[in-house]
Structure 1
Amino acid sequence: MTAVRPAGRALLVVWFVLPLIPVAVWAVSNQWSFPAVLPQEWGVDGVRSAVASGGIEAFVRSTSLALTVAAVATPLGAFAARALARGNVHFPGIVAAILFAPLALPPFAVALGLNVLILRARIPSTLAVVVLLTVAAIPYTTYLMRVAFGAYDPGYEEEARLLGASKSMVLRQIRIPLLAPALSGAALLAFLVGWSDYVITLLVGGGRLVTVPILVASFAAGTGNDAVVAALSIAAVLPPLVLVILLSRLGRRAAR
């Protein structure tokens, strides 16, 4: 059993890293034509083109958008999950159906329909994108936090209150630390929704909010842009990968 766990982790790392190797090679090659196994000419022209085409600005926009969605959708999902788990809402089945409805609706149809209303209401496109992506992320955060609250023992809070702890102390020192793994997982899912979205950002943003996925798609639609697409793809993969590694390490430390 001791040897199985490291082997399983190694296989998991290979599963995720192996597809990225050709992309990483493309990003640092100026010429790589079939049937050559390796690039005929190494270089960073693709990286330079990605930066010159607004790659850094798109990276900043994507990061800001994803962090905003995570910051809003995570607490909202936690509040909704707590209310559902404790039975504090009327008609919980209907409320749950409304919360999880974005998972059943096609994003393209929703974005296309709401875009008309957003334009007529003169809502800023960036704000509209944040709101819609938050709505799209809430089902994931609500589901994950509902599972966490289902396994949560409120007895710890009751004991703390009997010992004289205030509500704020209970929240800061008991509830949040015990729910921290679920909260971090919910925040990661919300971040991924905001980071990887293409349809809502493109349609509702009206092309003014250029993020990394939009930039990747625009270069992928052309020909001869393989090195640029590879460089942008690496930039798109790195933040989620770093977050997963950080959360896994934090989870191990918390388990110890």
Structure 2
Amino acid sequence: MSRPQSRLLQTARVAFLITWTLLIAFPLYWTITMALKPKSEWTGTTWFPSKLEWSNFAEVLIPGYGDDGLSFIETPIKDALGPLKDSLVISVGGTLLAVILGTAAAYAISRYRFGGSLLPFNILSVRMFPPIAAIIPLMVMFSTVQLVDSYVALILVYGGLTAPYAVWLTKSFIDDLPRELEEASMLDGNTRLGALTKVTLPLIAGSVATTALFVFIVIWSDFVIAFTLGGTNVEAVSVRIASLTSATQGQLYGPQAALGLIAALPAIVLGLSIQKYLARGLTFGAVKR
């Protein structure tokens, strides 16, 4: 390939990447600007707010905001601290349950071929089944034992539905880990469980962190299950965002965008805090020795 052609190809690649990045970043930009727009510009086509309006955040965060007449909403909305706490409890609990079950099952399948060759596919088929088809039977079942609108029900359902992700992701990482490392540990006097806890788990810690982050985001962003099995006692932040409406003003786009940005923070903070593990987990097994 000649030098002019190579430069043209390089320019086309850069242009494509810039265009693709702008397309991906545009929804985030629109959400940020919407959260900072005054009420009169929510349904307009302005690309940037005429003035920065922080009251959208106050509407969803400050309890009783607007009691002194500051609110631009006729009926002040409930603060979102409760739904944020509920979502955090549900997401952390469901993630821990999915990762523990997924790691144990992945190790048994990878090292002992437990369940035969069809078991991994059967586990994955749980995710092929749409959750909406099972949500009504689950609601009836938890209603029978009086667990609807509770942390226990949501953690159990989310943990069970996301465990297949954890199994498949963790199994691939364990498959890439040489068996000889565990065998050498057992020759030194460790049991199989000791080899798992002292050798295998530390080596795949980054991979487990990657799996946990993926599962956490799946649970945190879900709406249907949280809406069906939740209620007044337990309300996920995704449900609260959808409920920000007014009989006279319609959709409260400003507070919805503000709460959406706040709801994105836990996943961002978690991703940054385990960034060193993510880099290792996402590339684990990519280089064979």
TM-score range, shorter chain: 0.7 to 0.9
Q: Which residue of 2 aligns with 1:61?
A: 86
Structure 1 residue ranges without an equivalent (≥5): none
Matches of 1:175 and 1:116, distance apart in 2: 41
1:119 and 2:143 correspond: yes
Q: Which residue of 2 aligns with 1:23?
A: 31
In structure 2, do the counterparts of structure 1 residues 172 and 16 end up closer, same or farther at CA, with 3 Å as the change threshold? farther
Structure 2 residue ranges without an equivalent (≥5): 1-9, 64-77, 284-289
In structure 2, do the counterparts of structure 1 residues 123 and 212 end up closer, same or farther at CA, with 3 Å as the change threshold? closer
Partner letter of residue 240 of structure 2?
L
Give matches, 1:153-164, under 5 Å: 153-164=178-189
Q: Cα distance, 1:74 vs. partner?
A: 0.2
In structure 2, do the counterparts of structure 1 residues 141 and 220 end up closer, same or farther at CA, with 3 Å as the change threshold? farther
- Give identity over the alignment, percent: 21
Match of residue 238, structure 1, among 257, 260, 265: 265
Give matches, 1:217-256, under 5 Å: 217-219=242-244, 223-252=250-279
Match of residue 39, structure 1, among 46, 49, 53: 49
Partner letter of residue 234 of structure 1?
L
Work out whether residues 149 and 232 of structure 2, in 8 Å CA contact, stay in contact via their aligned partners in 1.
no
Work out whether residues 85 and 150 of structure 1, in 8 Å CA contact, stay in contact via their aligned partners in 2.
yes
SS state at 1:42 partner: coil
In structure 2, do the counterparts of structure 1 residues 124 and 37 end up closer, same or farther at CA, with 3 Å as the change threshold? closer
Q: TM-score, normalised by structure 1?
A: 0.84
Q: Cα distance, 1:174 vs. partner?
A: 1.7
Q: TM-score, normalised by structure 2?
A: 0.75
Q: Cα distance, 1:249 vs. partner?
A: 3.2
Q: Which residue of 2 aligns with 1:100?
A: 124
Partner letter of residue 23 of structure 1?
T
In structure 2, do the counterparts of structure 1 residues 172 and 86 end up closer, same or farther at CA, with 3 Å as the change threshold? closer
Give matches, 1:147-226, under 5 Å: 147-165=172-190, 170-219=195-244, 223-226=250-253
Matches of 2:153 and 2:228, distance apart in 1: 11
Choose between structure 1 and 2: higher helix proportion. 1
Which stretch has the larger CA shift, 83-92 or 72-81?
A: 83-92
Partner letter of residue 87 of structure 2?
S
Pairs aligned (count): 247
Alpha carbon RMSD of aligned pairs, Å?
A: 2.8
Matches of 2:85 and 2:22, distance apart in 1: 29
1:200-241 deviations in whole A, cap 9, x for unaligned? 111122453111100111126972411101011102222222
Q: Which residue of 1 aligns with 2:70?
A: none
SS state at 2:204 partner: helix
Work out whether residues 145 and 186 of structure 1, in 8 Å CA contact, stay in contact via their aligned partners in 2.
yes
Matches of 1:61 and 1:140, distance apart in 2: 23
1:171-203 deviations in whole A, cap 9, x for unaligned? 444211211122111111221232112111111
Work out whether residues 107 and 171 of structure 2, in 8 Å CA contact, stay in contact via their aligned partners in 1.
yes
1:43-86 deviations in whole A, cap 9, x for unaligned? 21211111242211111111111111111110100111111112
Work out whether residues 216 and 229 of structure 1, in 8 Å CA contact, stay in contact via their aligned partners in 2.
yes
Q: Which residue of 2 aligns with 1:78?
A: 103
Query: Which has the bigger relative contact order, CA under 8 A and spacing at least 6?
Result: 1
Which stretch has the larger CA shift, 167-176 or 140-149?
A: 167-176
Q: Cα distance, 1:250 vs. partner?
A: 3.4
Partner letter of residue 248 of structure 1?
Q
